A and B are shown apart, each in its own frame.
Chain A
Amino acid sequence: MSKKILMVDDDVDFCAAVKLLLESRAYEVVLAHDGREGLAKARAAGPDLVILDVMMPEMNGYDVCVVLKSDPKLSHIPVILLTAVDQSIFKTAYTKEMGLMTEADDYIAKPVDSAELARRVEQLLSP
């Protein structure tokens, strides 16, 4: 049975491209376009991995991550944070800080290459 990935990003075009990419790698992809929808789908669909964009209106990715990680039923699901906030120089400090705060499992800076994203997803889903 194929693994299910929940992709949460308010950029619909980005989501569509990532969906194509991940489906080509035989993953099942569920999309959500804001934080609340993401949380709802995380509960309803039971994904094996969540990719969370940080910059979303209203409920941002960090908030969603904190909620996911504090819910005993969901905290086991690995989370990749995805953001364009990062600048190349400031990557390290930012990653460390946000990783600690939100307990995300990985962190990817936009722009991300398709191959790189696929590799990171694979890493987290391999047993």
Chain B
Amino acid sequence: MLTKPNILVVENNIAVLNKVNQLLTGRGYNVVVVETAREALDFIQKNPGGVDIMLLSLELPRLGAMPLLETLRKARSEILILAMSADCGEEAIEAMHAGAYDCIRKTFTTERFWTKMDRAIERFHLKRDLEALQRERRSLQGCGSDSMRAIFDSVADGILVTDLHGNLVFCNSKASDMLDISCDELGRPVQQFIRHKELEKLLCAARVEPVEHPKGHYEVCLLETGDKRLRIHVNPVINRDGAPIGMVALIHDVARISGMDSLKDDFIFMVSHQLKSPLSSMLMQLSVVVDGLAGELNARQKDLLAKAKEKTKGMIILVNDLLDFRRIEEGKVLQQIERLDLQEILQRTVELTAMSAEDKGITLETHVTENLPLISGDRNGIEAVFLNLINNAIKYTPGGGRVTVDIYESGQDLRIKVVDTGIGIAQSDMQRIFDKFYRIRSEMTKNIAGTGLGLSIVKKIVDLHRGTIHVESEENKGTTFIVSLPIAR
């Protein structure tokens, strides 16, 4: 709904004043009438925004209409002024030059008055709309500059934008701090001030291979600079036509999260360590009791305690695996690199595992090529690989089955192939068997003790040796693990 303009009438001719007042109030306009220019000015000064349209007689005595017009044009240009004159002659032209919108003859008929008045009112509304639009536009422009800048600088993460040529186009204050970039770098190619090759490459990716980056594609890199650990997501900036116009990087300092992570790891490590001693004690106590050394046991008691003993062993394996895993993660595995003879390591592993294979009635066979070349690696790590793979093969193979270990040369690598005739691995589980703590849950595996760490330990060690591990399996037929390790030069 349009608001009705407030109208001020300035007229010393009472007859004209009354007539105008009558007409305007008759249509419900809010009208104020004064008789002199001085009063008009006083009213306007005391009521800022209280006058939208002014009807001004050009025949005022003393402080006349013209000085008032001049003053208002400078100070209150928003007021629409309609001059009123006896004949609308020279003085009317002059008034309109000074800013009046139109001129009404004082000898007006009602019809003529409204023709001019309605036009003025329409003009007033148009002016209001225009002002509103301009205000709106100004505030949007403000977003583009100052307020937008303030918003981006208040974000907890760093934001950095480059154009298609890899030049820096935007960088909020957090990003400046995190990457040590000064404001002067704006417009310069990122190669000149980003010291991290990977990030630099990502930021220039829009230029290098624009087609390769569909909407939503992003890459993450991790940087460590001093006490900061930065996780950076880099996305292409896509315009409305779907074309990349640059790259935007969101930079998050994960030092605190990492700190929590290592605290959690320390805690696990500490708990594992503290558990080891009492578990050892429990195992020995249970062994002695189960063996009947603390008095005769009936079959039921013996059965229950034997189960408790097995559970205790399971817990000890978990604790050991956790401690091993921790050491691998700390990079303590590859500290002692030496030339290793895999045949010798295999032999030792077989000695350690022969007993459990025999217990289950599983045939354990090895075939090793004569004069095998050496590999270079960490003895303990490689031992752990053998031990885990062979133990697993025995564990997941039913009695009467067969476990075969082959070591042979293949190109630049030595291959260790562990084949069993066990329960196999379902296709759906294949992807996850190397994940930390992943265990296949099924009728077949529910009675097999394990921690879900063994294969992830194996994978990590193999990776650290620049090797590969490959698995093939068929359910109820068996599983084959093939580890390739580079031959030492």
Q: Which of A37-45, A57-65, A67-75, A84-92 contacts B (4 or more CB under 8 A)?
A: A84-92
Whether a CB of chain A sits under 8 angstroms from the CB of B459 is: no
Q: How many residues of A contact B (CB 8 A)?
A: 26
- Give the distance in Å from the alpha carbon of A49 to the alpha carbon of B324 in the complex: 32
Residue of A nearest to B292 (CB): A24
Whether a CB of chain B sits under 8 angstroms from the CB of A3 is: no
- Give the distance in Å from the alpha carbon of A19 to the alpha carbon of B316 in the complex: 22
Q: Is the interface of B mostly helix, strand, loop or mixed?
A: helix
Cβ of A23: which chain B residues have Cβ within 8 Å of it?
Answer: 293
Whether the pair A20, B280 counts as a contact (CB closer than 8 A) is: no
Whether the pair B280, A114 counts as a contact (CB closer than 8 A) is: no
Whether the pair A24, B324 counts as a contact (CB closer than 8 A) is: no
Q: A21-B287, A89-B384, A92-B383 are in contact. Are A14 and B281 (CB under 8 A)?
A: yes
Whether a CB of chain B sits under 8 angstroms from the CB of A17 is: yes
A20 shortest CB reach to chain B, Å = 5
> Which interface residue of A21, A55, A110, A111 has the most chain B CB atoms within 10 A?
A111
- Give the distance in Å from the alpha carbon of A91 to the alpha carbon of B284 in the complex: 20
Whether the pair B281, A20 counts as a contact (CB closer than 8 A) is: no
- Give the distance in Å from the alpha carbon of A18 to the alpha carbon of B276 in the complex: 17
Whether the pair A92, B284 counts as a contact (CB closer than 8 A) is: no
Whether the pair B276, A84 counts as a contact (CB closer than 8 A) is: yes
Whether the pair A93, B380 counts as a contact (CB closer than 8 A) is: yes
Partner of A21, one of B281, B293, B333, B384: B293
Bitwise interface map of B from 375 to 393 toward A, beta carbon under 8 Å scored 1, else 0: 0000111011001000000
Cβ of B383: which chain A residues have Cβ within 8 Å of it?
Answer: 89, 91-92
Partner of A92, one of B276, B379, B457: B379
Bitwise interface map of A from 79 to 106 toward B, beta carbon under 8 Å scored 1, else 0: 0000010011111110000000000000
Partner of B277, one of A84, A90, A117: A84
Whether the pair B316, A24 counts as a contact (CB closer than 8 A) is: no
Q: How many residues of B contact A (CB 8 A)?
A: 30
- Give the distance in Å from the alpha carbon of A11 to the alpha carbon of B336 in the complex: 33
Partner of B287, one of A16, A84, A113: A113
Whether the pair B281, A11 counts as a contact (CB closer than 8 A) is: yes
Whether a CB of chain A sits under 8 angstroms from the CB of B372 is: no
Q: A88-B384, A92-B380 are in contact. Are A21 and B288 (CB under 8 A)?
A: yes
B344 shortest CB reach to chain A, Å = 11
Partner of A110, one of B276, B379, B381: B276
Q: Is the interface of A mostly helix, strand, loop or mixed?
A: helix
Whether a CB of chain B sits under 8 angstroms from the CB of A125 is: no
Residue of A nearest to B379 (CB): A92
Partner of B280, one of A92, A112, A115: A112
Whether the pair B280, A87 counts as a contact (CB closer than 8 A) is: no
- Give the distance in Å from the alpha carbon of A93 to the alpha carbon of B283 in the complex: 25
A52 shortest CB reach to chain B, Å = 15
Residue of A nearest to B286 (CB): A17
- Give the distance in Å from the alpha carbon of A17 to the alpha carbon of B287 in the complex: 9
Cβ of B45: which chain A residues have Cβ within 8 Å of it?
Answer: none
Cβ of B294: which chain A residues have Cβ within 8 Å of it?
Answer: 20
Partner of A17, one of B276, B288, B327: B288
- Give the distance in Å from the alpha carbon of A16 to the alpha carbon of B276 in the complex: 18
Residue of A nearest to B387 (CB): A88
Bitwise interface map of B from 186 to 198 toward A, beta carbon under 8 Å scored 1, else 0: 0000000000000
- Give the distance in Å from the alpha carbon of A89 to the alpha carbon of B457 in the complex: 10
Whether the pair A90, B280 counts as a contact (CB closer than 8 A) is: no
Q: A88-B324, A111-B280 are in contact. Are A13 and B379 (CB under 8 A)?
A: no
Bitwise interface map of B from 264 to 303 toward A, beta carbon under 8 Å scored 1, else 0: 0000000000001111110111011001011000000000
Whether a CB of chain A sits under 8 angstroms from the CB of B456 is: no
* Chain B interface residues (CB < 8 Å from chain A): 276-281, 283-285, 287-288, 291, 293-294, 313, 316, 320, 323-324, 327-328, 333, 336, 379-381, 383-384, 387, 457
* Chain A interface residues (CB < 8 Å from chain B): 11, 13-14, 16-18, 20-21, 23-24, 55, 84, 87-93, 110-115, 117
Q: What are 6 A-B pairs with beta-carbon distances under 8 A? A: A14-B281, A16-B285, A21-B287, A90-B380, A111-B316, A117-B284
